[in-house]
Amino acid sequence: MTTVAPTVTVVVPGAHLMAELLGQRDELLRRVEDAFPDVAVVVRGNEIGCSGPRAHQVGRLFEEMVLLLQSGERLDQSVMDRSIVMVRAEQRPSSVLTDDILKGSRGRMVRPKTAGQKRYVDAIRENTITFGVGPAGTGKSWLAVAMAVQALHARQVQRIVLTRPAVEAGERLGFLPGDLMAKIDPYLRPLYDALYDMMDPDAAVKLIERQTIEVAPLAFMRGRTLNNSFIILDEAQNTTPEQMKMLLTRVGFGSKVVITGDVSQIDVPDGRSGLVGLEKKLGHIDSLQFVYLDGSDVVRHRIVADIVAAYERFTNAEARRNSARKAARDD
């Protein structure tokens, strides 16, 4: 008995959309074919025919790409690659990649670029305190700053407070040259960079001078109550448990907090990170959510995603070996 392969036909409305959908010299079509080698894709006029075991996924991918094009999104190889990952996971790129946060300083719309980033942005909207945990390049700090600037523009908060621990990578402020602010500034520079991506640098400087936006080391938060503020704690893996508790108890009325960190890059003495194990303590609290990002959410150069994935594989393999050795000792 012969089994007939599933067939799906997608009708593309307009020749101009078809050209953008397939890409220059069909480069985007080839990426789809490479990602789904068991599906035959045939283009005739304004129709795309897909046949094979995963024809429904490829058909849905093309339908989602049409929706993106109709919404004004430009397709390129990175958008197509991320969309392929999302469709394989039964997610909708058209809802993830069209979630506008604000228009950045260069005129480009700031949006989540992966399903994980979309979960993170939604969690920030819905909760008072959100933890974004994941490796470098997953957009934790960048998206948090975008959400903070959007909230300020919408007058949901009266000020933004950006903070991070001032001691990282084994350095101590006392051994660095310059006065206090000169010593602190290099540690806070990534937050300034993200802020300048979201708004005109001159406007940002004026808001900083008026203290509508405050960029300061974590130690400066002690003894304060932060009302009507959007607070971002960056590099939270380098806080001590005492520092983490101190910040969380500074939250006042009308405030929102986003705490970001990467537990694979802990530099605090003795490894006493205020972020590790925190979900077990706080995970039951209403309006507080932990969101975990991984290598699939990295949106920097492709090699960064490959490096993160390699580290994750090594860490997971090491954990399995340690677990096996422990089990053997227990026997």
Ranges for all domains in the chain classified under CATH 3.40.50.300: 110-313
Ranges for all domains in the chain classified under CATH 3.30.1370.10: 7-96
Quote the pLDDT of residue 170. Answer: 40
Grade residue 107 by pLDDT with cuts at 50, 70 and 90: confident
Enter the CATH code of domain 7-96: 3.30.1370.10
Tokens representing 271?
């490894």
Alpha-carbon span 78 to 273, nearest angstrom: 35
Asked whether the predicted pLDDT for residue 173 surpasses 60, the reply is no
Give the tens place of pLDDT for each residue, 295-308. Answer: 888 876 667 667 76
Enter the CATH code of domain 110-313: 3.40.50.300
Instruction: Over range 16-34, report the average pLDDT.
Output: 94
Per the model's pLDDT, the better-predicted residue between 23 and 171 turns out to be 23
